[in-house]
Structure 1
């Protein structure tokens, strides 16, 4: 993916990593469309950040995805990058089925079915572009589990393998598949996580990630230095130590 000159749609980017990434990519000379569920929040983003386009979308709703795709492509026929940013993270206790089933289903619908449906809605258009990118968003937790968030870990592992698989299918086409792999970042993904001293500051994460996109336009994975501890634990042979260290530092662990 080239760092500038793109038209980029980022659903699920009204806060956190998504919004910070959208603003940084806009500053790098891209046309950026931010997607989210709340109309009032989209209006505020458009007012506070001139040049950012917005579209209302609920990535848990197939009809909303289809409608948003039509509106985005009608307004931006040169769209060539889709970033499947939307996601949720929930603390779960799988020792009590009554406490985790709804959460697990919501997580899979948002984190797995959402990206699949988004890709399905845009893939025919992207295949017609001379230089297109599908950017998926997994997590360091796709490679080492956080005890408190089983469904989130599993959903991000699914996104990693989905990315690996569809990259093989798109080989030889104009469509690149790039996987963004964040570490723990100070956002509101979990309550109080904005102040988690073990998490990477948001601005620092986005700056490093965008720098990697610029320096490595053909990269398959965008891995900031901090996430490599999780990403390569099994390859290094210290997976058990990685899992132990990760969960010892988790403020949600019980």
Structure 2
């Protein structure tokens, strides 16, 4: 299996302004000069973390999803991030894994942030999404999911391989709780023996809540490969398959993990 190159976009967001955010991400993605295969955007990248889905939700045929399709095809990359989506009379904080050919996977955020009333506005998902690209298996989470390790737990499959190799978390995680964010990113990488990628926004949102970013890439033993606070940034990095395989071979901890099922 070959290496995988990913690009993280840490940015401010235009509060509840879909058109402005899509135009901004157009420019930021166009500015990427390195070859990359996956571009990762923050949680609710088209609106910010809003509790007004009645005003802002789009369907899967809406402009934000169409933009993802167009941009992924234009740049021949995978684009992922979450959006406010209406479906079947319910609202979801939905992450899309958009392929260049227009096909996509979806993950509806499992753990809604009750502290901010997210559970009063959005329905919960009940299925994990583990995407695949170039032999890499990538588990996709959204923000508050980071606090719940059972949901993200890596397990050995019947073929003797771990369920996934990379855990991605896209977020609007406030600066006032940045210490748990940084600690939990490292913990998830270590306990699951995976590359952990956290992509957070920066700046104040429409509720005057400040976000420091702290987007990070952490390797399977918890070493911090990349970390950025406060400033906007676009960072491209190549995940090493050989490094992952070597660490798992040297420290075969996953085979000793407890077996369980999530009901």
Q: Shorter-chain-normalised TM-score: which range?
A: 0.3 to 0.5
Q: Name whichever structure is richer in strand by fraction.
A: 2
**Normalization by structure 2: what TM-score?**
0.34
Q: Name whichever structure is richer in helix by fraction.
A: 1
**Normalization by structure 1: what TM-score?**
0.35
